[in-house]
Structure 1
Amino acid sequence: MPGLLRRLFSPRWKHPDPEVRRHAVSRLDPCSDDQRRTLERLALDPDPGVRLAALETLDDPQRLLTLCELSDASPELRQHLVALLAGRLGHHDLPARIALVERLEDRTLLNELALQGDNQQLRLAALARLDAEEDLVRQACDNGIAAVRHAAAARVESEAGLSRLAHQARRDRQVARQARERLNRLRADAASLAAARAEREALLEKLERHAHGPWEPLYAGRLRHLMREWAKLRDLADARQERRYQDACQRCRKIIGDHEAQEHARHADHRRREDADQTRESLVEALEESLEGLHQGEQLTDQDIASLRAQKRLMASRWQALSDYHLADEALRHRYDEALAEYERIVQARVRLDERADAIEQALAEGDDDRLGALVEACGWPARLAPTPLLARARERLARETQDDGGEPGAQLAHFTEELGQLEVLLERGAFKGASRLHQRLRQQAERLPKPPPPADQARLKRLAARLAELRDWRGFVAGPKRDQLCQAIEALAEQTEVSETELDRRHRQLVKEWKALGDAAANRELSARFRTASDRIKERLAPWRERQQAERQRHLEARQALCEQLETLLEQPAHEADPDGLREIRDRAREQWRRLAPVPREQAEPIGRRFGRILHELQALIDRRAREIAEAKRALIDEIRELLARDLPPGQRADQAKALQRRWRSLGRAPKGEEQVLWREFRGLCDEIFASREAARDDQAQRQRARLEAMQALIDRMDAWHPTQSRETDVLDEAIREAAALEPLPSGRRTEGMRRRWSGIVRARRERLDRLALTEEANRWQAIRPLLTAHLRADARHLAGGPAEEVPRPHELDLPPELRRAHEARNAARQAGTTAEAQEKLARLRAHLSLLAGGRVQHRDDPLRLAIQVERLNENMGQAISRADELHQLLGELLANGPMPEHSWEREVGELDRMLEILAERPPP
């Protein structure tokens, strides 16, 4: 019942029956807002008929567009909206419809509007909202307006889209043509871009190969050339290519920079070597001047010896410092050794004199001349060296043979006076402890002197004692407040709890050190007890930390012991071929590890340190020994390369052997410091000489090759300008060919290939010209024998007319070759035994043969003769080459020997024969 009531009283547009709802649509007024909203709801009804009836009453495209955006639009709603916007329904103005189209996002609606719009602007507006390429292709192919088709086609950019457009746009040929043109341009651009990229990749590969190659003199120039080529490329490089280019350029610049640094280092080393040599020379000269000054002086004093020793020590240290980097040459080293030997002689003589000085003094004092002479002789004083004052006195005493009674003042009194001066110096510096001890000693010495010191020395001692007492009082005055301050500081430090153990131990040690530095100044038991109590409290706090420190020191000690054992094992069984560089690395790492393993227990520090020092000394000795062995091996290599330089070998073979020696040099390792650089410079200098000789040989070979090329070029130019005028000039061509063969082999290259092609063409052309000239000369000989042939024809005519067979004499003025002379005799013989038929047949054959030789056209009736002649020529010339001139010479001989010849037959053929001979007699153009 409630459901029935609801159906009876509900609106008809809500009726369950679709037909009722469809009829209810006609009763709704779209002008009313409520009923329009009802129609809009019915436009979304599930039944298609109801939707279609509701949409027929709605003509506002704005509202329908909103319905499409709010819910899933039905096909009827889309079709009705398209009809309204396209202008098929309703009376909406064009600007409003275009504005609505510009808001659309639905591709389907936009495609339909672009195809069905009633105006070109509307279709273009819908097309402007389309972005998918397949939609643009569809519009370009199917749209009914040409402007829309062209606008859509213009926006197709991909190769696939243009290809589809070119095949599917049958409706508009212009669209298809433009699509094909753009497709071709796109492909051409792609091909050009690919070619440019390939060119850039090839250039990058060249640059990378150049970056991984070694330095050479043209390295920087090639890099600049490759960089210019890179800059000339029209396309832009991508990020990867640009990164590769920058990396390769950076590597190239690094190689160039390393080479420049090496060159700079080599020049700097050379300059340092020169400076070192100059410094050494100045040192040797200074020592030599000092030694010469000692020889030229009157007396040798202690100051002279001290100065000489100081100069020698300074010179030796500087000489050794310079020798660590650069060894001296032999001459300078010899001078240095001689100066040192002279120095040693002087020093040893002075030592011997000092050892006997007391004895000499005693002998002088006692007047023992015999003993004095023996002592002076035992000193072995150099003859040229100036004597010392003592030695001069002794020599003077011996020379006078008198006794010297003079004596020195008391030594004790002099020593007492000297120590008084030392006491005064100590008091001036404030050294209380040293001054106090020295004062006690002076008081004791004053009591032990055999007689009292002079009054001046006694007064001086009292005055210095008063100053010492004053210094003692002042120290007490200063030390009292300092002791109070130290007690307060150590008690405050004992109360601090936030300070770390390390800092606490450092500050405690500092305070104890300052307390001890005060000594006994202002000392009392109370302050000492306070200081000791606070110090004990700090020590109790630091006890656990000290235990940890002691454990760590023990671990360090064990690690140091293990390190020493490892190094001792290495030293017990050293490898025979141990590399000094590897041993040096082991030494340096051992030192670094030793420094890290610190501290160690104090009582073990010195023994383990001595053990490690001994090991390092032995390891250094092993390094030095191996370095000396390497130095000897490198000296042997230097001797080998010096022998190689002296041997008579091809430069290339010598350079290859030098490279093998360089590889052996690198595999040896390093010699001792300083000596390695010297050996390397000597070895490298010899290698440079070998490579320089190879480069010189290459330059000579290249120069000879260039000379051969220039001579060949001159020969080509000369033969190109030569145009022979007679056939007997063949000797000139043969001589040129022999000259060209003598210039072989030419260096390979494009220029050589071009010259050979040009030379072959010139030789072929000149050979053809000479053959043509020989043929022309042979053809011109026809005119020379023409009178003889005419005489034979007249004799043949008289014989054929019934006359006797007379012989035609050979004119004496006519110089015939042997072949033609035999042909002349054969013609006379043929007049008696020959037949006219054979002569006529042979004349026809000779005419055809001459026509083939002249390159003329053979008549159709002479085809059998032509074939027979060609076969005969092939058979006769098999295995040998016959020139056209020789062939013509043979034909002229046969023509002269052919008879007897009827006059009418000769008149019939002579015109053709003359024409062919005229062709053959034409001279070739120059």
Structure 2
Amino acid sequence: MRRQAIDRLDPADVEDRQRLETLTTDSDGEVRRAALARFDDPARLVGLLERGASRELHERLLALLIGRAGDTPLAFRLTLVERLNDPELLEAIALQGDNQDLRLAALARLDDEARLLTQACENGIAAVRQAAAERVTSESALTQLSRRARRDKQVARIARLRLNRQREDAAEARQRAARREQLLSALEQHAEHAWEPLYAGRYRHLQREWEALPDVPSRSQEQRFHEAALRCRKIIADHEARHHAIAAADQRREDADETRRSLIEALEDTLAGLRQGERIGEQDIASLQAQKRLLANRWQTLSDQHAPDATLSERYNAALLEHERILAAWQRAETQAAALKQALEACDDAPLRDAVAALDWPADLPPPALLARAQRRLNDQRDEAAGEASASAERFARELGTLDELLDRGAFKRASRLHQSLRQRLEQLPEDARREHLPMLKRLGAQLAELRDWRGFVAGPKREQLCHALEALADDRDLSDGELDRRHRQLVKDWKNLGDAAADRELSARFRAASDRIHERLSAWREKRDANRQQNLIARQGLCEQLEALIARPDPRADPDMLRQIRDRAREQWRRFSPVPRDQAEAVGQRFGTIRHALQMLIDQRAQEIAASKRELVEQAQTLQNDDGPAAQRAEQAKLLQQRWRELGRAPKGEEQTLWRAFRGACDNIFAARENERDDHAQRSRERLDAMQALIERLDAWQPENNQDASILEAAIAEAEDLEPLPQGRRSEGMRRRWSGIVRARRERLSRLAVSEAIHGWQALRPLLDAHLQADTKALAGEPAEDVESHDALSADIQRAHRQRNALRRDPPEANQVADRLTRLRVHLALLAGSQVSRDDEPLRLAIQVERLNEGLGREQTRAEELHGVLAEILATGPVAPELWQREAGELDLQLSRLAELPPA
């Protein structure tokens, strides 16, 4: 009957076309084929294809698109092919199309390599075969294509060429990858080696070879290369920095040692001059003390930068001991001076002898004038002469040894002064002492004369050279003032170093004249230099005042690093403000040294306070490490401790590293515990995801068979709720979307099953309905109304409708009311089935929809419950005339058949 009804439907009519579209999904294949044959528009079939595909739909659409049926223009068919996504249909169009462009359009929509391979081998058009062959890319597919496409030499050649090219490219890529990996491994091994002389060259060679490779490295390879290159460059930079630092430190150490050596020699010369003099005075002691203070300050400054050499330290300590010994003797002499003077004025020998003994003047030092008078007063003429002779002889012998040492060292000036003094004092010695020391004095005098002659022999040309150099320097107008002054001072220093060797009055006059010319030329420059030195002095004094203000009012929360920066910058500025006037350099230098010492004490004090605070942080971190609280919360607290650690600044250098190791170890353990907790959480999340995936697969494979299977779905939903919350991520979102779709589909099927069961229950009531119709016919014919008896167990709604039908037969309503009620129920069924209604029934459909919305405000009914209520109302409507029932029954059965259709399992 459905097959016969298709021939009476007109596709041009909207309602008939909708019925035909419904029949295209009929359960019978012949009905579907007949319904599809009524459609000549492939665009409408493409729309049906998007809703659901069937074999008959594929056949009809294929016939229309390839031109076998219908008269659709080629351009329109090309447009429709570009909308298709069905690979089987596209493959069939590419094989059977009536036009090359049509086949190529369908081929362009194919992505499956197996289908492309089929087209390349079996398509009847060469251009299509070649186009398909061009899109085959995998090695296995190309191998099959080269074997199967022997009839088409062009396709076979394309396959062989692309296959060979791919194999060559793969082999070359493997070689390049192996070479890149080899270079990368070599660079990583090189980064682990210690520095050697060829380390930098080897690194540059590996880097050039890496950059010369044509292919692009992967992200992991690029990262490995950068990490290894960074390590190599760090080793090279560390070595270069270490090398430069060592060289600079060595140069500074050598300069410092040379400066120390000159300072020690100057102090030793001064001490030796005191021992060689006739008398020691107050001026000699004051000059010695001033020289010692200057030496001590400069020695300490140099020692702050570099440790002194052991030999120089020994010489320095020995000179300081000698200085302390002389100073102690002088202080004793000043202490006993009053007693000696009083005893000499009183001519009392006993107090004088006690004072001289208490003074205990060293024998190798010339005595002060007052002590010499006391010594002469204590001894008589002969004892005094003998004592003086003996002392003079011993002193003369010691000074002869000193003269020998000076001549060996080439110290001509000091040796010449000492030799002149020894010659004058030789006549004052006793005869035996004079005979003993005279040969040695002559020998040393000959050595001195030889040294004088040699100095004169060397100094004569040297003086000529220095004089010419100074005159040339005075006439040179191209030199800057600074360079002129430096060379002038150097030449003057070299001239003075010659002493009286090869002295010449004319050369000296020429040298002084040239020097005066230079002095006159540099007068303006020296005034400017002095002004600059005065400005540097003012700047140094201002710097000292700023630092003194900082030290006087220190910030109790000052950062030691900032104080260290202030100290270092102050030291840099101090060096920048140089030179200063010489007469004030020592005073301002001592002031800056005192300030720097106080600033260092302030830095050390703040550093110790920070160390105490950091020890407390270490204790808190260790306590937090041993706590049993949540690892994430402990990690957040550890971050706060780390932030406080960074805000505190640095402790003293050695203690900072120790505290940091302890603090970092505790924090690392806390963060490791957090990572372990995260790993556990991630593992539990993965387990929930796996369980959810298994539940989804289980529910996806399950299809409900009847309405009672709803409990299985509710149990699955409850199980899914127990697995929530799922971890955030794309996988979880995909699972939720799939789960929602599956649950929605299963609920829809259960709803359709419930509707189908309700319809089947209605069909079981057809005997009861037929009995009521027969009783209605009799009652409407004028016969007495009879009640229909029900022999089956009925539900409460059906039982109530059954009694109502019997009651209406005894007191029947108007015929038009019964007809309106049946029409309303028919429209309600059409609305539930989703069917179209006639234009006359459209207001009724809208009214029913409004009522359904109003009734659903309190509790929304299911389709099965609503259908059950409509069927009960149909049973309760009566009495129904036979012609009215015959007119409405067909439409009611049609709507019920549509509602009874189940979705595919």
Report the TM-score range of the alignment, normalised by the length of the smaller protein: 0.3 to 0.5
- What is the TM-score when the length of structure 2 is the normalising length? 0.44
Kindly name which structure, 1 or 2, has the bigger radius of gyration based on alpha carbons: 1
TM-score normalised by the chain length of structure 1: 0.43
